[in-house]
Amino acid sequence: MKTVTKGQVKKLVFAALCVAIGIVLPLAFHSVPNGGSIFLPMHIPVLLCGLAAGPVYGLICGALTPLLSSLMTGMPPAAVLPGMLCELAVYGLVSGLLLRFVRTKSKAANLWISLVGAMLCGRVVSGLLNGLIFRAGQYTLQIWVSASFVTALPGIVIQLVLIPLLVFALERARLVELRA
């Protein structure tokens, strides 16, 4: 029988908290027309989970958050769910992997590279899956660029500002350990 460590329990609880935030936070933004697509509120806790708890918990958080949110709130709608589930799972996985393996002399640089890398990977995976599988024939390069970068620009800026602040606050509280 394998023993569960205190660190694993902390990561599991943190991941569960991120899933809960990922379900509740979008509710506030959906009072704004197209608010979810503009502000990307579900992305924040998933990226944060990957960076703070690691790639496995980030992947699980990224897959569970949109699925549970869709079941509980109807958001995202069923037509959008498969692409979004894959996109968010990639965010959680890649942010955790990159933070584990990117090594510069600066914690801030490691964090930024990991965050931006995950954001780009998730968007590419979402675009490819929507274009080739989930919405084949309806999803064009123009739709992908518009949805992933133009409409989402306010959310991208929020992520780039807020997530590093949150990760460094978690580090100061000794809930996360960043390496330079």
What is the residue-wise DSSP string for 55-122?
HHHHHHHHHHHHHHHHHHH--S-TTTHHHHHHHHHHHHHHHHHHHHH---S-HHHHHHHHHHHHHHHH
Dist. CA 130–CA 124, nearest whole Å: 10
Place of tokens 């992520």: 159
Contact 62, 91 (CB under 8 A): yes
Quick one: pLDDT at residue 175?
Answer: 85
For residue 131, what are the contacts with CB-CB under 8 A and spacing of at least 6?
139, 140, 141, 144
Quick one: pLDDT at residue 123?
Answer: 98
Four-residue CA torsion sign, 74, 72, 66, 83: negative
Contact 148, 127 (CB under 8 A): yes
Dist. CA 120–CA 15, nearest whole Å: 22
Dist. CA 135–CA 160, nearest whole Å: 29
The pTM score is 0.96
For residue 161, what are the contacts with CB-CB under 8 A and spacing of at least 6?
none
| Ranges under pLDDT 50 in the chain | none
Helix count and strand count (H, E) for the chain: 8, 0
